[in-house]
Structure 1
Amino acid sequence: MSRNSIFFLTDYGRRDGFVAACHGVMMSIAPDVRVVDLTHDVPPQDVRHGAVVLAQTLPYLPPCVVVGVVDPGVGSERRGIAVVAGDHVLVGPDNGLLPWAAAAAGGVAEAVELVSPKYRLAGEAMTFHGRDIFAPAAAHVAVGVPVSRLGPAVGAGDLVRLPEPKVRARPGVLETEVHVVDHFGNVALAAGPDDLAASGVGAGQRASIVRGGPAGPDSATEVVVGRVFADVAPGEMLLYVDSHRHVALAVNHGSAAARLGVEPGDQVTIRVLAP
């Protein structure tokens, strides 16, 4: 099955020629395939951030190949893999970057290790697998090469996975983790709408946010529970469900991450305030 698009995500940035080199390799192998930059602004070495972006974006993409390269272990013993999930093929390092996206596409149907020399560049560099291994593999798949030809099968259960975020909901309290912080400083939490409902937190209420556990050391920040940014005045904080179905925190015309001093992986406790 050929696919006419390759979507490309990395932490390479745009200052150097890394992205262009990968584009050149893919275009040389698959000149009629469109290469679309998903983003190259993943924070350096932040595998979790890249995994979240892929998982959030993949359900909205047409059948395609996705190359993800956030690879602090490049040159080590970590595998390069290709994963079939739904109508998509995901190519990248076996470091937890791809499984959340695969799950969002219906789960891993097939996975292989990228070892066949026929589908990588000759004389590969130990420190640039994006150009020499992942880009060529993606381009060959895009023009119809079966994934099974890229290397031996890997069991879905053998893929490296990131730790699942912790969420605990009980009446009046929701304990969760910061999942990702976006460009605007909005803070997406690991909890979803069902967790919010289980805690009894609903629109129109007020809640307190504490960074840390239930007895965390930080002072509480009061927020309004709403649906859209305009539910609070400029400069005020809102708790809402975002477009990816995550419970989230935002400051209208500001940065919730800066206000709270949080980053991905931090624990946050939300507590309903009495009317």
Structure 2
Amino acid sequence: MSAVPWISLTTDYGLTDGFVAACHGVVARIAPTARVIDVTHLVPPGDVRRGAAVLAQTVPYLPVGVHVAVVDPGVGTARRGVALAAPGGLLVGPDNGLLVDAAAALGGVTDAVELTEPRWLAARVSGTFHGRDVFAPVAARLALGAPLAEAGPPVDPAGLVRLPTPTVTRDADGFTAEVLTVDHFGNVQLAAPAELLDPLPATLRVGPPDTAPVHAAVHGRTFGDAPAGGLVTYVDSAGLVAVAVNGGRAADLLAASPGDLLRVSGGCSTVECFSGG
């Protein structure tokens, strides 16, 4: 493999401790010419689903390189550390479902290894900081062009841990979908592709399935298609259905969190749909 000058970091380490700096330092010691892009270090602690979504929706827009992701509540347990090769880059992190969607976004896993080669790791591997002692040194060596196969034994890509498939069901006048993520602005991203929203009318119902209250939403293209304080249901930058409030937070208005279900449907006037917000 040829050298790649870029490494990205996605973690739940936060910004108040030295964890991120330690990972940067390990990379700089091994591969001082590599350039590091910090995707985010503010994934909610232990939220593998959120980390996987951020990673998968970001890596297609990054330079070809090595993408390190660490959202790892099972650190130090029997869960494997892995490195994956895809046509669009390499991914390094825990085998807990965090990497697979990003690998798919980069063209799919072509090779995978378990990170067991001691020469690729820190001299002493902490039981609780594999970002520093396992994943950062492996990424740095891959960035220098070291062969993936030297990092450890091969792993069958079919055996990689995958997150549960989120719920999406379609019916005669709309669909119900699981909340995939809530972003910094309170926009609610659903695990529903654009084609489920496309045929629905200009005014929609949005709310928990079979539960009041139901809120009226504009079927729009951007936030400004709704009046100030109003809901808009649209296709977001990742190509998924999302719900936002123009000038507010849809997650608060809908009391929606990742894993919840929301139903989006048509067939009513704004006055008929709107209830309590």
What does the per-residue CA deviation read over 1:222-251, in whole Å, with 9 as the maximum and x for residues that have no partner? 111111111111111100111110100000
| Alpha-carbon RMSD | 1.0
* 1:134 equivalent in structure 2: 135
1:182-261 correspondence runs (5 A):
182-197=183-198, 200-202=199-201, 205-211=202-208, 213=209, 215=210, 217-261=211-255
Contact 2:83 2:115 survives alignment (8 Å)? yes
- Flag structure 2 segments of 5+ consecutive residues without an equivalent: 270-277
Partner residue of 2:38?
A: 37
Letter in 2 for 1:234: A
Instruction: Please give the TM-score of this superposition, normalised by the length of structure 2.
Output: 0.95
In 1, Cα distance between the equivalents of 2:172 and 2:127? 52
> Per-residue deviation at 1:274?
3.0
Q: What pairs with 1:8-87 in structure 2 (closer than 5 Å)?
A: 8-87=9-88
Q: What letter corresponds to residue 238 of structure 2 in structure 1?
A: H
Whether the 8 Å contact between 2:88 and 2:107 is mirrored in structure 1 is no
Cα distance in 1 for partners of 2:230, 2:214 equals 14
Q: Which amino acid in 2 is paired with 1:70?
A: V
- Cα distance in 2 for partners of 1:247, 1:148 equals 39
User: Aligned partners of 1:241 and 1:36: how far apart in 2?
Assistant: 27
CA contact (8 A) 2:174 2:196 kept: no
- The alignment status of 1:111 with 2:112, answered yes or no, reads yes
Taking the aligned partners of 2:268 and 2:130, their CA distance within structure 1 comes to 55
- What is the CA–CA distance in structure 1 between the aligned matches of 2:212 and 2:135, rounded to whole Å? 44
**Cα pair 1:113 1:153 within 8 Å, conserved:** yes
Would you say how many aligned residue pairs link Structure 1 and Structure 2? Answer: 268
1:91 aligned residue: 92
Distance 2:212 2:132 in 1: 45
* Structure 1, unpaired ranges of 5+: none
Amino acid at match of 1:155: D
Percent of paired sites with the same residue: 50
Read off the aligned partner of 2:242 and give its amino acid letter: A
TM-score calculated relative to the size of structure 1: 0.95
1:196: how far off?
2.0
In structure 2, what is the Cα distance between the partners aligned to 1:19 and 1:234? 39
Q: Which residue number corresponds to residue 272 of structure 2?
A: none
Amino acid at match of 1:105: L
In structure 1, what is the Cα distance between the partners aligned to 2:64 and 2:156?
Answer: 23
What is residue 264 of structure 2 aligned with on the other side?
270
**Mapped partners of 1:238, 1:274: distance in 2:** 15
